[in-house]
Amino acid sequence: MASNSKIWVSEHNARPEIRSAFPRATVRFYDTTLRDGEQTVGVVLSPQQKLEIARKLDELGVSRIEAGFPRVSPEDAEAIQLMQKAKLKAELWGFSRAVKADVEELVRLGLGASVIESPTSDIKLKAYGISRDELLRRVVGAVSAAKQNGITVAFFAVDGTRTELDFLKKVYLAALDAGAAEIVVVDTIGACGPEAVEFLVREVCGWVGRDVAVHYHGHNDFGMATACGVAAVRGGASWIQGTINGMGERAGNADICEIALALRCLYDVPVALDLTKVREVSQAVAKAAGYTLDAWKPLVGENLFMRESGAVASQFHIPEAIEPYSSELVNARRSIVLGKKSGLDSVALKAKELGLPIAAEQHAPILAAVKKRAIAKRGLLTDAEFREIVSELTSAAARP
């Protein structure tokens, strides 16, 4: 078992052929919760809410915050202006199509950096009624205009993973020639598995050279966004784009915090993200957006360090026996809860936690009462309910 004081994962992750495939450079995160994340069905964030989330992202250590799409949303423009006044440490980035008016709005707001997007796959070009030649003209025109106005550009090839390779290369190189500083490999509909992502990112890194930063932007349609993000880093991506909680259209975006955790714990790759702040930020974003997280969601789920099973509770004093990383790593609280699946050790641990003196011979009847009540209510017992059971049974046992 590969181990340090807080990480207890398989030693197989440390095999030389695995570790050597990853760069040692720090991976940084470009958060698009406020733009792509808000595209989650039914989610509307006010400018003030976006400001508060931006502050949380800044505390988390996110290097770049995509502040919004100001050309199509006056509310996003307002939010951007609020963020600019907040003097965050993170860089503020805009989002623009390869359209002159979009770039002009970036200039008006004084944004110094932006993604500029354009579809590149034949499927998307057909859907928009745009030829390849027209696409290239638009990309060159928009990127050139942004560059002339002092805006740093990361060119974002929409549906790049379904774009014919030679044409994708042509578009990326045209964008760089026009003044783009960085390139984004985009899996718009989550159409790639990890192996394909690694291949494509490595190809793109070869096309653009070592001096051009390559991002990966993926979606979770097959439940593989975290694995694909890790694969992108293995392929040479130095930036990962995604959202808090993986929110976004359809099955959502890549979850930047899950990717950071996997890189850090499984592959010992340095990440520019404070994992101790993740759960707090996750809850704040979910509350603002009005959705409930799955209790079993990796990294931020309510159940991750909560133990009901009696068999697991018996090992509660040895965290590495039942958890792959310490709760301290993500600033979470470990706890014992009582329910249908609890055991004698569960009762003893909960009693100790609550400071309730219980004789050894009372453990079994108390456990039976716990199970009975849990089955009746089809859920966990509260601490108050457990106290009530203990009080009733210990009082009964004390009677002559």
Question: What's the pLDDT tens digit per position in 98-121?
Answer: 999 999 999 999 999 999 999 999
**Sign for the pseudo-dihedral over CA of 280, 281, 287, 291:** negative
Percent of the chain with pLDDT over 90: 94
On the question of pLDDT at 399 being above 90, the answer is: no
Query: Looking at residue 24, what is its pLDDT?
Result: 87
Give the model's pLDDT for residue 392. 86
Q: How far apart are CA 183 and CA 173, in angstroms?
A: 9
Could you tell me if 344 and 363 are in contact, meaning their C-beta atoms sit under 8 angstroms apart?
Answer: yes
The confidence band for 396, taking pLDDT boundaries of 50, 70 and 90, is low
Tokens 């450079």 belong to residue: 25
Q: How confident is the model at residue 3 (pLDDT cuts 50, 70, 90)?
A: very low
Model confidence at 158, in pLDDT bands (50, 70, 90)? very high
Closest of 277, 222, 227 to residue 250, by C-alpha:
222
- Where along the chain do the CATH 3.20.20.70 domains lie? 22-289
In whole angstroms, what is the distance from residue 289 CA to residue 282 CA? 11
pLDDT of residue 394: 81
Predicted model pTM: 0.94
- Dihedral sign for Cα 203, 207, 212, 218, please: negative
Categorise residue 380: left if φ over 0, alpha if ψ from -120 to 50, beta otherwise.
beta
- Average pLDDT of the chain? 95
Q: What share of the chain is helix, strand, coil (3-state, %, to 5)?
A: 50, 15, 35
Q: Are 241 and 254 in contact (CB under 8 A)?
A: yes
Contacts of 76 (CB under 8 A, 6+ apart): 34, 35, 47, 50, 67, 68, 69, 70
pLDDT, position 398: 59
% of the chain with per-residue pLDDT over 70: 98
Using pLDDT thresholds of 50, 70 and 90, give the confidence band for residue 4: low
Q: Does domain 22-289 have CATH number 3.40.50.880?
A: no
> How many whole angstroms separate alpha carbon 375 and alpha carbon 370?
9
pLDDT average, residue stretch 76-86: 97
Residues 6+ apart with CB under 8 A from 209: none
**Cα separations (Å) of 23 from 153, 205, 266, 269?**
24, 13, 14, 7
Q: Render pLDDT for 258-306 as a digit per residue (tens, 0 to 9).
A: 999 999 999 999 999 999 999 999 999 999 999 999 999 999 999 999 9
- Residue 397's pLDDT band (boundaries 50, 70, 90)? low
Pick the closest to residue 273 from 254, 260, 282, 262 (CA basis): 260
Per-residue pLDDT tens digits for 183-219: 999 999 999 999 999 999 999 999 999 999 999 999 9
